[in-house]
Structure 1
């Protein structure tokens, strides 16, 4: 089963994904796509808050780049585990230096790996594009890539939750999926 949890900054999406994970009887592997940066105290504080919320029984891995490979490896070595991946936006940000062709290949491999996996996987993604158009090209590339990635992951997910104001709504149940062009 694939579950996508999307929402704005500080909306509660990570907490919702963590709650879903705690409902599983399987051992939890938490994949953090961000990396620690001692020069960024705000980022360090956010990482620490996430760590403090996680039970000690969860295994945690930092996977900033090779997410598809990590999923494949865990499928082989820990097939009875539940994966919680937080977050697709941070993972994508780590790959923003890739050109469109490279990104398309990475995205395709990632989506194929998700679809082929038999693991239960919950992914967290930032919902972008509801505000102003970014002033810089790199910001627009990030917004567009993440929006398209979330749409593609949502299409192959069994559940898609939108978290707004601390409330989770299963939009896969309530909504109608748009066809891809």
Structure 2
């Protein structure tokens, strides 16, 4: 059974800070899983990474895992908390991969969440609340992230939405949508064409 918690919301909403608060409150050893890939040529990106690093407690372990997230999640111990920040950045690392490769990667990751003994807190961006991107890679990112967040949300409890600096427990306030995964996968393949 999954021991996943999902924290989702728009940019700069406070979702990472809320996820960090949840992790600290578990009173377990925390491993912060950074999905970002460092790019020394992008000074602004490096500053963002450094801001996140400075905010974390010094006793937390940090692992940079831009690709093989499923293996890390699957192998974590029961007396441990993983904080994965973020799913959107992780997906961005796969945008050069075809749909079939991504579907396999996504399935392995979702399976790892149901197989792990650890507590896993996942941070995810909400990008689909605006206009449809005008370019194919933007649509691919938005669609992959939206689908993954929905699937992670289906196996997470609780699911939090952070917006405007406020936290809502969606698991307490709302009802999950139960869908036929076969139909969802078929409709996604149709949209990708």
The reply to whether TM is greater than 0.5 is yes
TM-score by length of 1: 0.96
Q: Give the count of matched residue pairs.
A: 178
Given the alignment of the two structures, is residue 41 of structure 1 paired with residue 43 of structure 2, yes or no? yes
Establish whether residue 102 from structure 1 lines up as the match of residue 87 from structure 2: no
How far the C-alpha of 1:98 sits from its partner, in A, is 1.2
For residues 179 and 2 of structure 1, the distance between their equivalents in structure 2, rounded to whole angstroms, comes to 18
Aligned to 1:144: 143
Spell out structure 1 runs of 4+ moving beyond 4 A: none
What's 2:52 paired with? 50
Correspondence for 2:117: 118
TM-score by length of 2: 0.90
| 3-state secondary structure, aligned to 2:13 | coil
d(CA) in 1 for partners of 2:90 and 2:113?
15
Superposed CA deviations along residues 148-177 of structure 1, whole A, max 9, x for unmatched, are: 000000000011000001111001110111
Q: Verify the 8 A CA contact 2:86 2:124 in the aligned structure 1.
A: yes
Matched, 1:25 2:31: no
Partner in structure 2 of residue 83 of structure 1: 82
Structure 2: stretches of 5+ with no match in the other structure: 181-193
Could you tell me how far 1:72 is from its partner in structure 2?
A: 2.2
Could you tell me which runs of 5 or more consecutive residues in structure 1 were left unpaired when the two chains were aligned.
none
In the alignment, structure 1 residue 8 sits paired with structure 2 residue 10: yes
User: CA RMSD for the aligned pairs?
Assistant: 0.9
Q: Quote the Cα distance in structure 2 between the aligned partners of 1:8 and 1:158.
A: 20
Question: C-alpha offsets along residues 114-168 of structure 1, whole Å, 9 cap, x if unaligned?
Answer: 0111100000000111111101000000000000000000000011000001111
